[in-house]
Amino acid sequence: MRLRDYWYCFLAIQAREWLRFWQQRTRFASALVRPLLWLLVFAAGFRAVLGVSIIPPYQTYITYETYIAPGLCAMIILFNSMQGALSMVYDRELGSMRVLLMSPLPRPFLLVTKLLAMGVVSVGQVYVFLLIARLIDVEPPALGYLAVLPALALTALMLGALGLLIATWIKQLENFAGVMNFVIFPMFFLSSALYPLWKMQEASPWLYWVCQFNPFTHAVETIRFALYLQWNTEAFAITAIITVVLSALATAGFRPQRTRILGVRTGGR
């Protein structure tokens, strides 16, 4: 296979993902309304309960709104990744994933390209959220919008790989919603998306360690530091390692024939 064939395949999968997104415009609205609502409600609630708007140890430049904005960016990617995984389960039920994987191109390339396509859509929504959030006094440095792009892409690939890995275990479409909720909410709430880890440590040491072992925490911290033109080597390295591991497991374990239609099981035993 020539390099041009890989490039054409990449563009075709990207175009298909954007076409699907365009046909589901309510998905775009819900992806923006959810984090914007949380940004307003949690910021107001935090000030009402604690009577402060500054989060130590970031006192020099971060209010609560600017603190949780990166976590909400990661939340957008998390929800979109799980929805993307749901669409892959749906495609597998209909057999379209089999058609895609019949391509002579390597299966890992096809699946990673699919994850990247979903990630590009998610990153686009994150940037729209950040632009709207400027109206709520979330104003990172101008270069931060560019510096955060690699962190967003890495997070999208990690969470997309997690969704794909979950999709390899789901044999029926109707089972996916429960599993998705079981993954999304613990990952989001047991992280530093809404509350600083030092505050979590003061409240409960064991919850602090749970948050530390949560890969979503490190993805959030990678985004948070990059958005404000800082660098967190530990968070970036952990996120990158987990991304590689999840991608390898997901691409190796995905079976397009694992489906159940009209009560008849085929393959994937």
In tens, the pLDDT along 74-91 reads: 999 998 888 777 777 666
How many domains in the chain?
1
- Residue 36 in any domain: the answer is yes
- Residue 97 in any domain: the answer is yes
pLDDT single digits (tens) 123-174? 988 999 999 888 887 888 889 899 999 999 999 999 988 888 887 776 666 6
Amino acid symbol at 223: I
- Residue 24 in any domain: the answer is yes
pLDDT score recorded for residue 194: 84
What's the domain range around 135? 3-257
The more confident residue out of 31 and 113 is 113
pLDDT score recorded for residue 91: 66
Distances 200 to 4, 86, 122, 151, 207 between C-alpha atoms, Å: 50, 32, 28, 24, 7
Percent of the chain with pLDDT over 70: 76
**Do 157 and 240 contact (CB within 8 A), yes or no?**
no
- Residue 221 in any domain: the answer is yes
Residue 136 CA to residue 222 CA, distance in Å, equals: 22
Percent of the chain with pLDDT over 90: 20
- Residue 120 in any domain: the answer is yes
- Residue 267 in any domain: the answer is no
* Structural element, H or E, at residue 124: helix 107-133
pLDDT at 223 over 90: yes
pLDDT score recorded for residue 61: 54
Question: Which residues are CB-contacts of 159 (< 8 A; sequence separation ≥ 6)?
Answer: 77, 78, 81, 82, 216, 219
- Residue 265 in any domain: the answer is no
pLDDT single digits (tens) 240-253? 999 999 888 887 77
Amino acid symbol at 218: H
Q: What is the mean pLDDT of residues 51-80?
A: 75
pLDDT at 257 over 90: no
- Residue 266 in any domain: the answer is no
